[in-house]
Amino acid sequence: MSPAYNSLRSALILVAAWLVLATQAHAQLGGSAEASGSATEQAKEQRASADADASSSAPALPVADAAPPPPTTETPAPAQCIDERIRDELNARRRYRGVQKRLFQKAGRHEISAMGGIYAADLLSSSYLLQGSYAFHFTEDLALEAEFGYTRADSDLVEIVENDTSFTAVRLDTPVYIYQGHLLWTIAYGKLRWFSGGISRFDIHLALGGGVTDNQSAEGLTVSGGIGMKLFFSSWFALRFDIRDHVMRQELIGASEIVNNLTATLGASVFLPFGS
């Protein structure tokens, strides 16, 4: 063999030997790395188990109570201020048009009234009526009233008969005096709102009583009853309206019968003392 061939074979042998040696060295290094890694993992696992055992065996420490949060001052939001303002306005309007305090008291007070109206008789012609009264209110609902009235007696029918027959049946245009007493019972009271917004109080009462009608045709006693209303403008002043029915026996031109004479009056009342 030539020297070149021998040299090439020797080189190949050396390369093969070097590869074998390198492979063995790499295998040894990988095994040691794996061994060291497994050892490291085992050490970590042992350390973790030891820590867990230590934490489970250690006594529990008391936990301190959490400190309460410091008080905070909150400023009202603008929306809340607006809501309060609207609420105040609504309350003011409600007070204006809602229930108001009763300004007048009648119990224990005296009432003096002056009235005028019409007297419509069955057998006589209608005439004017002037009337005055005094009442004492011993409760808010009950009162006793004494009343005096003045009117005049006239009859167109009697005048026609007298003119035709020249017979004087009754003296015409003579005064009529009415003396009566009534029990007043207030059955309702309320308030009335005017167009301008003002509020007035009123009450409604029933009247029952009787007395004497002093004229030339009346006979016996007079029984009367009716209804009335008072409109209060202050604690001591009121307007009143009354309708009464006077039932009596009356004789005219030789005939006697029971009649119903109606009166309608409008007037003013003053309550004493002036303070309610």
Of residues 95 and 275, which shows the higher confidence score?
275
What are the boundaries of each domain within the chain? 1-45, 109-272
Structure tokens at 125: 């012609």
Q: What are phi and psi of 61, to 5 degrees?
A: -85, 140
Q: Which fold does the domain 109-272 belong to in CATH?
A: Porin (2.40.160)
Q: pTM for this structure?
A: 0.58
Check residues 82 and 124 and name the one with the higher pLDDT.
124
Instruction: Enter the DSSP assignment of 170.
Output: S
Inform me whether the pLDDT recorded for 214 exceeds 80. yes
131 has a pLDDT exceeding 60: yes
Query: Which residue pairs, CB below 8 angstroms and at least 24 apart, start in 129-138?
Result: 129/263, 129/265, 131/178, 131/263, 131/265, 131/267, 134/110, 135/110, 135/111, 135/184, 136/109, 136/110, 136/111, 137/106, 137/107, 137/108, 137/109, 137/110, 137/111, 138/107, 138/108
Peptide bond just before 273 cis, omega within 30 deg? yes
pLDDT at 180: 96
Q: Per mean pLDDT, which range of 14-28, 103-117, 159-173, 237-251 is the poorest?
A: 159-173
pLDDT at 178: 94
Going by C-alpha positions, the residue among 219, 269, 265, 274 that lies closest to residue 118 is 265
The confidence score (pLDDT) of residue 84 equals 77
Q: Would you state the structure tokens that stand for residue 52, as one six-digit string?
A: 């867990």
> Of 4-13, 39-48, 59-68, which one has max mean pLDDT?
4-13
